[in-house]
Structure 1
């Protein structure tokens, strides 16, 4: 199988490439240091699988997965991450990602997962709690939008103008957000949402 590795940490990318390259049935045909480069390589080289980190410059791994799904590209996507965040996981499933594995997984496990995915399977790291499947983002799209603007430092009145709402409506949204996230204040709410990947 032909594989591309997209990872912004040079040492990890090189080590992964060398270790996977030792497998008889895996050929690493490209390495990308950011999401934009990964997308370009996938289009040009048509690999069977692309292994991607989530948090990369220019485009995240999830951004790339979303674009590949939109384009109907046949390349299978495997997310390799240190983040067991509910929001990230849900987006990965939504964008048709076939693998979601943790970076501390042994290479032989990664190779076995790639073989399974190559045959059409889907592999989720056993270390990821079942709660990732069950937990859902409690915020509506509008509430996420409001919280993003709060995180960007906008005042209630500025948010109201930007979203064509009244100040009272924005305050109601903020109150609802705090209640849903069981947050002490706005900063706490932003922290909780970001930690769970709910502000993407």
Structure 2
């Protein structure tokens, strides 16, 4: 029998980590060596355990996933890397690719697909070249674009349905602002990387207000959904239980997560 694939998970979402732990521990050909909740802790576990595969979140405190990849880039012995993220911005994906990640998976994701990617990487040994560690067939899992036939009206209807079901009150200004922000990000992914400079001014211009007021209204709408909304629907929509202890997501995180889920 082949040795199990040795895995480390790094993600600050404790609920998601518990889901991943349960899944990996149920797989006979996989061994979970440890978990980390921020980038610096991830590096400590990696250097100590020397895993075969690292499942890495991008948005983490202290040191983010890109920072972890930068630290690992020129190590003589490093794991294969599967990056998990709610962000599908092309510039971020390109940066992750340049730092040697093997797969890029958008949250929320299918656990069986993750397992398949881990097995593929476990079957492809790393080797050392003059440019650092690489593999014969490194592959980046790209984001799935929204079909071209989807119209703005269809998008607005779909986003409206989702945020209403989450519990965002339709009477607050932030309801319309949040809806339009999500639609805008679906149509132009790069906006999520320029929320303050481009997205909020775009919404403000449409509704003849200021970017600061647009941002506050969106934040208020998200807080209402998180505090008083339909948590069961939110859990179901994102594909796993949200971590209430972690606190509310930032406005940009929430917009990105909803947009990416609908784009898929």
Per the alignment, residue 93 of structure 2 pairs with 89
TM-score (norm 2): 0.48
Distance 1:65 1:127 in 2: 20
Alignment equivalent of 1:187, drawn from 193, 197, 210: 197
1:76 aligns with 2:80: yes
Which 4+ residue blocks in structure 1 deviate beyond 4 angstroms? 189-192
Q: CA deviation at 1:125?
A: 3.2
Q: How does 1:92-171 map to 2 (within 5 A)?
A: 92-120=96-124, 121-125=137-141, 127-129=143-145
CA spacing shift, 1:126–1:93, aligned 2, 3 Å: closer
Alignment equivalent of 1:3, drawn from 4, 7, 24: 7
User: Aligned-residue CA RMSD in angstroms?
Assistant: 2.6
CA spacing shift, 1:49–1:191, aligned 2, 3 Å: farther
Q: CA deviation at 1:68?
A: 0.6
Asked which structure has the greater RCO (Cα within 8 Å, sep 6+), the reply is 2
Distance 2:140 2:200 in 1: 28
TM-score (norm 1): 0.63
Gaps of 5+ in 1: 130-180, 196-200
Distance 2:9 2:86 in 1: 16
In the comparison of the two structures, how many residue pairs are matched? 140
Alignment equivalent of 1:63, drawn from 63, 67, 72: 67
Distance 2:99 2:201 in 1: 25
Per the alignment, residue 220 of structure 2 pairs with none
